[in-house]
Every structure is written in structure tokens, then in C-alpha cells.
Amino acid sequence: MILVDKSLKRREQTGNPIKVGMIGAGEMAKGMINQIMHYTPGMTVLAIFNRNPKRAEKVLQELGLSDFEISNKIGEAEKIINEGRILLTSNIDLFLSLNRVEIVVETTGAVAFGAETILKAFEKGKHVLSFNAELDSTLGPILYQKSKEAGVKYSLGDGDQPGVTMNLYRYVKGMGFEPLVCGNIKGMLDHYRTPATQKGFADSWGMQPEMATNFADGTKVAFEQSCIANATGMKVAKRGMLGYEFTGHVDDMTHLFDLEELRKLGGIVDFVIGSKPSPGVFIYATAKDPYSIKYLKYGKLGEGPLYSFYVPFHLLFFDIASSIARLIDFDDPVIVPLKGSVVDVIAVAKTDLYPGDKLDGIGGFKAYGLCENHDIVSKENLLPMGLSDGCKVKKFIHKDQPILYTDIELPENRLIDQLWNEQQEL
């Protein structure tokens, strides 16, 4: 951010703002729009796509932004933007065809829609910043490959745990240390939460019950840690991660990890329940240089061999503007996959499932997600959680049993299945 603020001020002074199009008008998108339009010099939101543009209209009104217009006609839409008003549209093809929009921000959390839309954006020459860990965990490697083929930029954004962790990972690695654990601090986890149990919490924060369920049943942390694994090459120590419960500070938890086992795996992604500082992220790293070891001790980081580094918060949409500027002005993506998948999120039965049942996807009643190393996912033919929505169950599946491809029928002709198959070749 130290470089980014100067860059954005220069853009403001020269009248050349970064021009953003927002996909979605949910709670996170609302925060991003607020941040860009009220607090970010050198950046502006030109257009918002939402299936219900009235929802986007309500968001802008609540944010005190009154200069907007709804349109689904391309000539009219371009005129609205050229006159300095924000365009609201329910036509995704029109939205992606807008000449002046440089970068689109995908905030929906939907895998199928997100994949289709991002590929269309690449075809139209648009850069993409994603706030969709569910999609990036499932299909990020192939999407990143296709962005490079199209000559555009793609990245997950900062503010959520994957981006915050990756910033810390780069910082720690840049000092010459060896990161071996990338950790996420969770307040609770219950695999059996459903949209019914989470409705009250969801309503209180203006979110969908499925989103709140995704957070509570452990699927979200699995997606987030999978994204980090795919960006670093780290693995998981076991299916579902170790997931220790520890009520103290993460500084005091290093003894739970074996240095040689961590090195054998090339480092791991993991999470802890109940620790402090919540809701932050942490990295455990080791040092080889005796001089470094001496001064880590002087800096009160302990005796080693694992040293604890942490960020005590993640700031969601507050960091989105810096993510955009880093990508556009510095070609510095916050987090992208290295190549193919390293860790995937598999679908596990949340309840007994019977022939004829239909899986209801992320944050639903039927399944939760767990991290597993990609080589095992391929070997055991495990169904990715991000591809589970709409799959029809063919066989009885016990509660807590991983769901196999042979247990289900896929919906026909889905782009996401084609992309998954193509990704396996990376």
C-alpha cells in the first residue's frame, strides 16, 4: 500500500483513474463500491452488473451515490458512462463489452457463473480481480492459464485470508526465512450447520444463509487454504487439515508441529480453532542463518526452530482498492496459482444421502468441503466441492463419507466440468 497510495494520487492528479466494473451487488460488493467511490483517489466504479439492478440501485442509494442509471442497451449504456454516471445493468454481455471498463471485480462466490463470466471478460480484454475463493480453489489454475493466453491479468484480491496470508508469506520469505505453515485462525467450526441453522446470523449481516453456512461448516476455510496451497506449492498434512483447537496465542502453538515432517511436505496449509489473535492469519517459518537466529531471539520471537509471524485481522473490502492498483499499475497479483492444483476441496456428505437426492452445492444442506492433496483426489476419483451443485446421487452415501464421481451423475454440458478436465492436464 505504501507504493499504491502514491500511484493512485498521481492518477487523480492527471485525471486518469482506474476504471472498475463490479460484478454483483451483495454485501462485499457494497463495501468495495463504498471504499472506491468515497475513499480511493485515482479510481472509480463505472458500471455494476447484477441480475436484479434494483438491488444495485438500493446499494448506491444507501451509500449516498445518486448519479446512476439503469440500462440494458449498449449505446445508451456507453452514453451514461461518458456523461459520468454509474451504469447499472442486468446484461452481462453488455457489461463486459463496455469500452472504458479496464478491470472487473467478481464478487459472487458462485463457481459456475463466476467461471463463465471471467472467461467472457478475458475474451473482451478485461483484467479480472476475483473475490471468489470458491472459484479460484476449484478452477484457479486453468483460469490463470487462460488469462495469460488472452494477454490479461487475473488475481484473487487482498482483504480475505488468502490474500492477507500471501502478503505475509512474501514478507517472511523476503527476509530469508523458510515458511512452513500458513495458518488461518477460526472462531468455530461445525460441519453440520445448514442454511436453516444460519439464517438468523445471515439476516443480521445482510448475507445469504448459504454464505453464512459456508463460513460455519468449514467449507470456506478449506477453499481459502486450498488457494494458498495452490499459490505456494504447500500441501495438507492430512485430509481436512490438522485443525488444532488451541485457546492461547498462535505464538505459543509452534510446538505442535514437527519441523522435519513440515519440510518433507514442502510446508503445509492449516487452521486453528479458538486461538488468538482472531480473526487473523499466521505463518510459522524457520531460519538457517545463525546471525538471523540470534536476532530473532533478540526480537523476542523465541528460540525456534519455528518462528511465529502473524497479522491480527483481515479487512475484507477495505483492501480491494490496493489489490486493483497492485494488479493494474504494478503487475503485482495478490495471489495466483503456481501451475496445476496442489490441494483441492472435496465434497463430503453432511447427512446420509440416498439415490435420487440432488446435491445443493456450497453452503447447503447436503455436503461440506474438506481439503485434500490433489494427487489423492485424482487417485481416489473424489468429487470437488466446487463442482457438486446439481449433481444427482446414484448410490447410498453415509454421513461424513467423501463423495466419489462414481456416486453421482453430473449435470449435462457444464463449462465448469470441461474446465476441470482441462485443468488436470496442467
The overall average pLDDT reported for the chain is: 96
CA gyration radius, the chain: 22
Question: Does 277 score more than 60 pLDDT?
Answer: yes
* Res 181: pLDDT: 98
Number of Cβ atoms within 10 Å of the Cβ of 311: 18
Q: What is the pLDDT of residue 70?
A: 97
Percent of the chain with pLDDT over 90: 95
pLDDT exceeds cutoff 80 at 330: yes
What average pLDDT does range 232-252 have in this prediction?
Answer: 97
* CA–CA separation, 262 and 270 (whole Å): 11
Alpha-carbon span 345 to 368, nearest angstrom: 9
pLDDT value at 194 more than 70: yes
The closest of 323, 309, 231, 306 to 269, measured between CA atoms, is 231
Domain boundaries, the chain: 2-160+317-330
- The SS3 of residue 148 is helix
Distance CA 312, CA 277 (A): 5
User: Residue 386: pLDDT band by 50, 70, 90 thresholds?
Assistant: very high
When the candidates are 3.40.640.10, 3.30.2040.10, 3.40.50.720, 3.30.1280.10, the CATH number that belongs to 2-160+317-330 is 3.40.50.720
In this prediction, residue 1 carries a pLDDT of 57
